[in-house]
Structure 1
Amino acid sequence: MSELLERHRAVLPAWLALYYDSPLEIVSGKGRHVQDADGVSYLDFFGGILTNMLGYDIPEVREAVERRLRTGVVHTSTLYLIRSQVELAEKVARLSGIPDAKVFFTNSGTEANETALLLATHARRSDQVLALRNSYHGRSYAATAVTGSRSWKNSSLSPLNVHYLHGTDRERFPQLSDREYARFCVEDLRSCLATATATDVACLLVEPIQGVGGFTAVPDGLLREFKQVLDEYGILLISDEVQTGWGRTGETFWGIGAHGVTPDAMTFAKGLGNGLAIGGVVARGDLMDGLPANGISTFGGNPLATAAANATVDYLLDHDLQANAHRIGSRLIAGLRAAAEKLPTVGAVRGKGLMFAVDLVDPEDGQPSPALAATVLEEARKRRLLIGKGGLHGNTLRMAPPLTLTDSEAEEGLAALIDALETVDRADR
């Protein structure tokens, strides 16, 4: 592995981070488990950053991909009719709940957010965009500009005029009740529109639960209150569902469902192809059709990716994986919260469904501890459990297992994670 690591460092960017002191190479997978190049098996609680949504080697998805491969045509481009693309668009449009919805497919969440920003800024004839503090919307020029985390911003240059709002920083205002915090956020939005922006703001782009931000969530119902203010100005609401879509939060099929409001557009990607690259935007038909120039996506919505995505969505719905996420996720979160009561190095435990997080803190002063989080990541690996890391301060452990996670696997993963947390807590005292 050291030889491969040396080759990686020689030809790939220094900013392309790898997990673990001794990075691993995943070579095979089955169900919710993967195997590394040394033959070690791991229970995967991160799914390639929420992308292997059903797990690994799912027969229905594999067979759909194999059928497409046997045709000899894995690519044609959007210049030709693609049956599987049309079928997938029909499913996404129906599931979105957006009236008269139309869908455009991309290769990633970054591209999806770029497209949504293009739709909104053209429709509103404005480069002004609202976003939330601590947000992450992708790696490209405009997506980085809308990202509200310094750790992920490489440049101050921007094609957009962005203003950041409160909404996921509840812990900064302990003196406020939940209702008072929500009112504060709405007033912050009104103040921003009154003082920081010119007329005709294009949109608010928001993650209902922030992914890279550490699974910090907008309080339920707040986006409905935001929408009421936005509607007064004609400002569009775009929900970034790249990590929260497809029933992962358990309670609702889309993350924004917790707010009782329908957005003007939603972006999606990650788990839709269960590992194959696909993303997209679903929006009101008039908004989607509004662009005046020609458009194309060479690879977006290609026959291979849409074959996998159709099979993934069908499997997801046929097996009611949203309900599974809610049931098993609730147990995992409750178990972690119970364990955290005895661990001074564990701060907040939060999440919904199979999207949950644990903050690691210095037990002396309660400040974020990225070092402790990194240590727990390593300890979890020793227990054959793969988890993720992130958050504004880098001290958050992120867990997002495949939605097919079983009861026994949930117990196995919970026990391993709690043991890792307890081991690090004891060593830090």
Structure 2
Amino acid sequence: MTKSLLARHRAAMPSWQALYYDEPIEIVAGEGRHVTDADGNTYLDFFAGILTNAIGYDVAEISDAIRRQVDTGILHTSTLYLIRQQVELAERIGELSGMTNPKVFFTGSGTEANETALMLATQYRRSNQVLALRNSYHGRAFGTLGVTGNRGWSASSLSPVKVSYVHGGYRYRSPFRDLSDADYIAACVDDLREVIETTTAGDVACMIAEPIQGVGGFATPPDGLFGAFAEVLEEYGILLISDEVQTGWGRTGEHFWGIQAHGVVPAAMTFAKGLGNGLAIGGVVADAELMDCLTANSISTFGGNPISTAGAGAALSYLLDHDLQGNAAKLGTRLLDGLRAHAQRCALIGDVRGKGLMIGVELVEPGTRTPAAASATRVMELAKRHGLLVGKGGLHGNVLRLAPPMTLTEEEAAQALQILTDTMTLAEQELHR
């Protein structure tokens, strides 16, 4: 059955629509943090639909909220009409944003959210110049590809914006990697100022940045980096946009938004993924003056529709009521400590990084910093064989990405850690055979 579906997928879908595993799986059921494939195999899910199923599977409170909306017969109306759940969710997100006078616009995805943020910033500043980070990823649309600093995910050199890339997000392979946190930040700030002075006309619209680079392999800069950047940006009137598509909703554990680790409130934040727990929803929260700067009409046909906002509202309530941010902090620390301890014994591991339940393990050829992409693929296959699904990313495709639902239990964290350490040890041993 799976082989037949795979053949049909390859015939009907584009070749660049990637699939995980030598034998891709079809996930047909889920409960808690576990999913089951079409062949009846059950797995502990440590990637959560690319961080999207933040609460987990078959959560009654969320499913019931969706059913109640379905029972009304209204699945869609568009933003041309009032949507009560949309207004209520916008009010809650505004309160959580930390901004003085926030407004929210909903979209259908994180890509569309980042496109909207770029449109707002370039219109507000009357400039098409944008600063972005090397190794970044912000989506697969025309504008967001233009600000993606990762060649593996940048399908076109064409762009509606003029982009200059700065250092800072990816420390492990940075020329400043061996500096102290303070000196690393200072070096990146110097680079930022030089890039503004030498590669732009000065009137830059914005900088867009992920507090932790998701597709880039959960690359995690020192706390305070973006706060230091913000001081320079303010000198030039440049807006800071925080891409919270992967870092939002408490996943990093220590803060509700990833940018809060840097002591700065950005001009805008984009969000998506975990808010909907699988439903398609994204958006932008920004200061009212920035949000209201457009002079032409604009809508989002599907953004903030009754189904997605009903489900997202229930997911947000569940997340807050059950302190999933605190759970992410506690279990994330245990996973990070365990993986870092294993790195002392496993030469395949070059770096363990991240915060909360957003962890990257960069694999290298033993004794070097040469990316070991084949080993990352091998560990993924071995982990799947042992009942664990993990993600993969990084500039070189050599980083294991761990981001389970935030309802993860202590027993499940221990199980995943054991599988990961065992499979990485086995993958390293295979290199020497």
Same fold (TM over 0.5): yes
- Partner-residue secondary structure (3-state), 1:170: coil
Counterpart code for 1:352: K
Counterpart code for 1:347: G
Q: TM-score, normalised by structure 2?
A: 0.98
1: CA distance between counterparts of 2:222 and 2:353?
A: 12
The reply to whether residue 303 of structure 1 matches residue 306 of structure 2 is yes
2: CA distance between counterparts of 1:99 and 1:365?
A: 48
- Partner-residue secondary structure (3-state), 1:209: coil
2: CA distance between counterparts of 1:250 and 1:211?
A: 16
1:338 aligns to what? 341
Q: CA deviation at 1:25?
A: 0.3
Q: CA deviation at 1:250?
A: 0.2
Q: CA deviation at 1:346?
A: 1.2
2: CA distance between counterparts of 1:81 and 1:365?
A: 58
Which one of the candidate residues 167, 181, 185 is aligned to 1:182?
185
Residues 27 and 36 of structure 2 are in contact (CA less than 8 Å); yes or no, is this contact kept in structure 1? yes
Matches within 5 A, 1:131-146: 131-146=132-147
1: CA distance between counterparts of 2:146 and 2:238?
A: 19
1:2 aligns to what? 3
Residues 102 and 285 of structure 2 are in contact (CA less than 8 Å); yes or no, is this contact kept in structure 1? yes
1: CA distance between counterparts of 2:88 and 2:171?
A: 41
Q: CA deviation at 1:425?
A: 1.3
Matches within 5 A, 1:33-72: 33-72=34-73
- Partner-residue secondary structure (3-state), 2:16: coil
Which one of the candidate residues 200, 203, 211 is aligned to 2:206?
203
Larger deviation, residues 148-157 vs 53-62? 148-157
Q: CA deviation at 1:175?
A: 4.0
1:27 aligns to what? 28
The reply to whether residue 408 of structure 1 matches residue 404 of structure 2 is no
Deviations along 1:107-139, one digit per CA (max 9) or x if unpaired, are 000000000000000000000000000000000
Deviating above 4 A after TM superposition, structure 1's stretches of 4 or more consecutive aligned residues are none
2:371 aligns to what? 368
1: CA distance between counterparts of 2:264 and 2:108?
A: 27
- Partner-residue secondary structure (3-state), 2:401: strand
Where in structure 2 are there 5+ consecutive unaligned residues? none
Residues 125 and 204 of structure 2 are in contact (CA less than 8 Å); yes or no, is this contact kept in structure 1? yes
2:148 aligns to what? 147
2: CA distance between counterparts of 1:77 and 1:67?
A: 19
Which one of the candidate residues 228, 242, 261 is aligned to 2:231?
228
1:17 aligns to what? 18
2: CA distance between counterparts of 1:169 and 1:348?
A: 12
Counterpart code for 1:203: C
Residues 134 and 167 of structure 2 are in contact (CA less than 8 Å); yes or no, is this contact kept in structure 1? yes
Matches within 5 A, 1:17-416: 17-171=18-172, 172=174, 173-416=176-419
Deviations along 1:377-406, one digit per CA (max 9) or x if unpaired, are 000001100000000111000000000001
Deviations along 1:186-214, one digit per CA (max 9) or x if unpaired, are 01111111111103100000000000000
Q: CA deviation at 1:364?
A: 4.3
Counterpart code for 1:415: Q
2: CA distance between counterparts of 1:162 and 1:9?
A: 35
Q: CA deviation at 1:277?
A: 0.1
Counterpart code for 2:377: A
Q: CA deviation at 1:41?
A: 0.5
Aligned residues: 429
- Partner-residue secondary structure (3-state), 2:252: coil
- Aligned-residue RMSD, C-alpha: 0.8
Counterpart code for 1:5: L
Q: TM-score, normalised by structure 1?
A: 0.99
Q: Percent identity?
A: 62
Counterpart code for 2:29: S
Are the structure 2 counterparts of residues 367 and 299 from structure 1 closer, same or farther at C-alpha, using a change threshold of 3 Å?
same
Q: CA deviation at 1:331?
A: 0.3
